[in-house]
Amino acid sequence: MSILASLFAKNDFQKDIPLPENEPILFAANHRSFFDVIIAWAVFSRSGINCHCLIRADLFDKPVIGGWLKRNGCIPTSRQTREEAEERAIAELKSGYAVAIMPEGRLVPSHERPEGVGQGRPGISRIARATGATIVPVAIEGSEAVWPLGKAFPIPRLKRPLVSVRFGSPFNLSSDDDIKNVETIMNSIKDLISEMRKAR
C-alpha cells in the first residue's frame, strides 16, 4: 500500500504519532475519498500499528480489493451489519488491537463539509464506551484530488497531488451521550484540519 500511495500522490505523513501505551486505541478520521483507505494503511504500515479498519461492506465483494480487505482483517460494515461490525470492533479492541473508523460513515462531498468534516455517526461512541478506548483524531487532506468522488479508479497525474495526514492528541470520552460524544470527536478532527491548513 505504501508503494501504491506513493505512485498516485506525494505523501506528507506525520512521523511521530502520539499514542497512549497499554490502552485500546480508536482512530477517528475524516472521509472524502476511497484513497483515504490506501493512505491510512500506508501510514499504519510505516508506523508498525496493527489496526483493523471498518470499511463499507459492499467493497468486500469487489474483485481484487475485496480479497485484500479480508486478508488484512478489515471489518465490513453497513446499515444491515452495524451491530455485528461494532461487536467485532469491540472484540478486536479488547484483544489488544487498534481499530480505525471514519465516523462520517460515507464519502462526504465538499459542499457537505464547509468546515472540513461532515456529520458523524454515533457508532464510534458506542464502541469507545464499551471498551474505554482512547480516541486518536486523524486528519487527511488532499486525497480527493487523487481519487475524486464518483470516479471508479484513482487518477494518475504527471504532477502528483499532495496528501497530508496528521494525528491529534489522544483523549477519552467523558459523556454517556453518544450524540454529544460524536460531535466532540468530529470537532477534534475539524480542529486538526484547520491547524493543517494554517500551517501551509
Please enumerate in sequence order all residues whose Cβ is within 8 A of that of 167, keeping only pairs 6 or more positions apart, or say none: 14, 17, 18, 136, 137, 138, 192
Instruction: Give residue 58's domain range.
Output: 2-198
Task: Please state which of the ranges 7-11, 117-121, 172-176 shows the lowest mean pLDDT.
Answer: 7-11
Considering only residues 72 and 181, tell me which one the structure prediction assigns the higher pLDDT.
181
- 103 pLDDT band, cuts 50/70/90, is very high
pLDDT of residue 160: 93
pLDDT digits (tens, 9 = 90+) for 52-93: 999 888 888 877 777 878 888 899 998 898 999 999 999 999
177, three cell numbers: 451521550
Considering only residues 31 and 62, tell me which one the structure prediction assigns the higher pLDDT.
31
Q: What is the mean pLDDT of residues 15-42?
A: 90
CA distance 200 to 197: 5
Expressed in angstroms, the distance from the first to the final Cα of the chain is 26
In this predicted structure, the answer to whether residue 140 has a pLDDT above a threshold of 90 is yes
pLDDT digits (tens, 9 = 90+) for 149-158: 888 788 888 8
In this predicted structure, the answer to whether residue 180 has a pLDDT above a threshold of 80 is yes
In this predicted structure, the answer to whether residue 138 has a pLDDT above a threshold of 70 is yes
Domain count along the chain: 1
Query: Which amino acid does the sequence have at 33?
Result: S
Q: How many percent of the chain have pLDDT more than 90?
A: 59
Q: What is the CATH number of the domain that holds 95?
A: 3.40.1130.10
Considering only residues 2 and 47, tell me which one the structure prediction assigns the higher pLDDT.
47
